[in-house]
Amino acid sequence: MLPAAFFLSSLFLIWFLCVAEEASFSTPNATKIGQGYRLISIENTRDGALVGLLQVKQKNNIYGPDILLLRLYVKHETENRLRVHITDAKKQRWEVPYNLLPREQPPVLKQNIERSRKNPISVVSEYSGSELIFSYTSDPFSFAVKRKSNGDTLFDSSSDESDPFGPLVFKDQYLEISTKLPKDASLYGLGENTQSHGIKLYPNDPYTLYTTDISAININADLYGSHPLYMDLRNEGGKPYAHGVLLLNSNGMDALYKGTSLTYKIIGGVIDFYFFAGPTPLNVVDQYTSLIGRPAPMPYWAFGFHQCRWGYHNLSVVEDVVEKYKKAKIPLDVIWNDDDHMDGHKDFSLNPINYPREKLLNFLDRIHSIGMKYVVIIDPGIAVNSSYGVYQRGMDNDVFIKYEGEPFLAQDWPGAVYFPDFLNPKTVSWWGDEIRRFHELVPVDGLWIDMNEVSNFCTGKCKIPEGRLCPIPSGNVPNSTCCLDCKNITSTRWDDPPYKINASGVQAPIGFKTIATSATNYNGVLEYDAHSIFGFSQAIATQNALQGLQGKRPFVLSRSTFVGSGKYVAHWTGDNKGTWEDLRHSISTVLNFGIFGMPMVGSDICGFYPAPTEELCNRWIEVGAFYPFSRDHSSYISPRQELYQWESVAESARNTLGMRYKLLPYLYTLNYEAHIIGAPIARPLFFSFPSYTECYGINTQFLLGSSLMISPVLEQGKTQVKALFPPGSWYSLFDLTNTIVSKDGDYVTLDAPLHVVNVHLYQNTIIPMQRGGLISKDARMTPFSLIVTFSAGATEGEAKGNLFLDDDEMPEMKLGNGYSTYIDFHATVREGTVKVWSEVQEGKFALDKGWVIDTINVLGLTGSGAQPIIKGVSNVNVSTSEHKYLYGQGDGEKKIVMVGLKGLNIPLGKNFAMTWKMGS
């Protein structure tokens, strides 16, 4: 939804002037703060960890007094994960709640610090695990993390005079720690932000983490989510090594990346590092999600196409949209409502005039009967209205965030609102009950939680004005102008902290247009600490409520996210613009969220506002059809932009979404892989080609899974695209005979007329497909086909692929429940003999569904085809087509062909095997 900040962009200049006396982000606090700490004791614990005490060397009051004594805790938690935790030795400090993000807890702080301090430093300065080695220097204290296999230093917090950063600083509201980095390291992550230089972190760009409702059109600013993780990819003598570093802290922070160093400046909490050894990018995400939670399994229909608009003012418009998609023969699985269905913008309500319940239920019966789904929005602000049942029950249960003992008053679309405190168990129960009540009113299929950074149209301590309307009426246009009587809160150190993070890109006050940071949550937890986990805690409550309500696999989409959100929700990248720049930026943001353990992600196709051009919308659906989460969404301030509005866009949509629906089995299998090992669905090229350094900075292409590469047009007026092809053979998915052989890796100029997007499949791959359809429910029941690729003209080769199928309404996504099937596909070619076979696990589910393989196409072969031998199969239609080289060439003068087998009718749930000899 359009953020309040969109209407207040002029205030950014005022903010900037107000903080002009502060140093700029690129050179803040150039003076080093203090002399750090010295290690005064260290010991081994019974469970193999290290516990030490750090004493400040020289006190100062820059950003407040130092914490004099720190507790160091270091543990190899797994073979490939190391934790380094530093906190106040005498007093419990705020940490991300262990009940929200389950993980191992460090030992309780010792009461008798003096006795502990007498322990001599009796252990060696190196603490080794299977692959990571922790080492330290005692005075001034610093630590390093090294990779055992090659001796590479992954993290080094030591500081000398030549470094632009100083030693460890630990104050109540200011923590600072740095690491040295090699010049040739490639870093990714530290989001959410719209990165103008692409997915690879760029020296001196600002990286600020603090969940904020400013639209995604703002470049290099802290946006809706906070993910303090980075991946470091290095190439050492031609061999790639990747590792990950998470600083688990929910407080606002600046991360200053200088190319050869990275410095964290954090305004609270603890230093809690997790190091993930990799060594491949996929290993890093696997190790990361094993800690924070595996990505949520998504229902099958979620991979269909979604249509939404803020401005479907009545039900007849929604009905018309669905009918026009059908008439245009454009696939559509899910229709959405922004807050248009609500009564006065109030959550869990229905507008009796524009969305009469009886007519809405009839509409839902119709779309549900054909397999379509319906999703609606929920904003966190609960309208302060004594006649509103949701509010009444919330007050009765005491569920709201408080300021000075009373619910904190803010403003959102319905006017004056209170915000639920999702750290309170009573709030979670109340929220679940409200979702149950609403579902009885309207049987929605999923929920969309928005504005949960949290967004507030006002700032400070407010009260409802007497004698004037709030919100101020403005016709049919929602009004985000603050109409409460408010006064700024600057008297506390929470509302005006000593260090100013680069909030909103201009060092805005951190309580601006959100909940005051001196407000309190359950058990007195300050909003100052818990601000960035609001969306995360709401996501958990919402997902659990939906699952408990229906017993089905939930679908929840959230704007604000934090470390671990992917276990519960999908994400879209927020309010973008209908511009070519925003189209390009969308790719980097989608790829980043895959690294963050949130693979189900996409951007508003054609842009949220203002109007996209017809050409841009053509090109955007050619990209968006391959986002993991594919949704067209626009604002009431924009003209209508459903894909059928232009015939040219409709044609592009039929082409690309038609291919997406054929690829649904592949996408759904990637969903399973994401849930099992955290693997991103959309991936940067370096995930599959980490040895090929040319792809480390590629932002204009991406992979689905390990082998399917999308190379879209991202510039106005272009009908060609220059695409990078890593070494190997690539086959066009839209014309399997079109082949590119990139011997050592090369850029290739491809034709890309208006309705064409280039999608290529890599060698040694087997992908399952179906015939497609206009709704995923129908597409899912069509016959399967397999595409098998070998290196063009290779005399020997091996290809692999897999397929996961299940009852997607089951909450769990796993094998062994009687409602799932998993298949490994294999193929080999050796000296002209081709073999293709399958290995099926839990085949009964697929057999009961009657699924069959009708077609197999094998690419990159030499010679001519011959009749394959397939046990129990006869009357196979065999065809041979010669490959055309768009770039490169095959093995000498050999004829390279695709062999197609049709009419197979092989039961998918049974092992099969076939073999044939290629003719000369």
Instruction: List active site positions.
Output: 450, 453, 575
CB 574 within 8 A of CB 535: no
**Torsion angle, alpha carbons of 290, 269, 544, 805, to 10:** -20
- Closest C-alpha to 656, from 627, 616, 613: 627
For residues 577 and 377, give the distance between their C-alpha atoms in angstroms, rounded to a whole number: 21
CB 266 within 8 A of CB 176: yes
For residues 755 and 617, give the distance between their C-alpha atoms in angstroms, rounded to a whole number: 11
CB atoms within 10 A of CB 796: 10
- Closest C-alpha to 7, from 308, 222, 213: 213
- Closest C-alpha to 673, from 272, 295, 173: 295
- Closest C-alpha to 302, from 656, 21, 626, 668: 668
Angle between helices 647-662 and 614-624 (to 10 degrees): 0
Q: Cα dihedral sign for 299, 231, 588, 565?
A: positive
CB atoms within 10 A of CB 871: 9
Q: Cα dihedral sign for 388, 392, 393, 397?
A: positive
Q: What's the angle, vertex CA 103, arms to CA 97 and CA 107, rounded to 5?
A: 85
CB 154 within 8 A of CB 187: no
Phi, psi of 529 (to 5 degrees): -90, -40
Name 18's Cβ contacts closer than 8 Å, sequence gap at least 6.
Answer: none
- Which amino acid, one-letter code, is at 700? T
Query: What number of CA atoms fall less than 13 Å from residue 200's CA on the CB side?
Result: 18
For residues 144 and 150, give the distance between their C-alpha atoms in angstroms, rounded to a whole number: 15
- Which amino acid, one-letter code, is at 760? H
Name 631's Cβ contacts closer than 8 Å, sequence gap at least 6.
Answer: 305, 306, 307, 308, 334, 336, 572, 602, 604, 605, 624
Query: What number of CA atoms fall less than 13 Å from residue 112's CA on the CB side?
Result: 4
- Which amino acid, one-letter code, is at 201? L
CB atoms within 10 A of CB 221: 24
- Which amino acid, one-letter code, is at 283? N
Q: Kind and range of the H or E element at 769? A: strand 765-770
For tokens 């009765």, name the residue: 396
State the alpha helices, DSSP H only, in 398-458: 425-441
3-state secondary structure of 291: helix
CB 862 within 8 A of CB 891: yes
For residues 458 and 11, give the distance between their C-alpha atoms in angstroms, rounded to a whole number: 13
State the alpha helices, DSSP H only, in 164-305: 281-292
Could you tell me whether strands 570-572 and 601-602 are parallel, antiparallel, or unpaired per DSSP bridges? parallel
Burial class for 885, CB neighbours closer than 10 Å (0-12, 13-18, 19+): middle
Phi, psi of 442 (to 5 degrees): -140, 115
3-state secondary structure of 639: coil
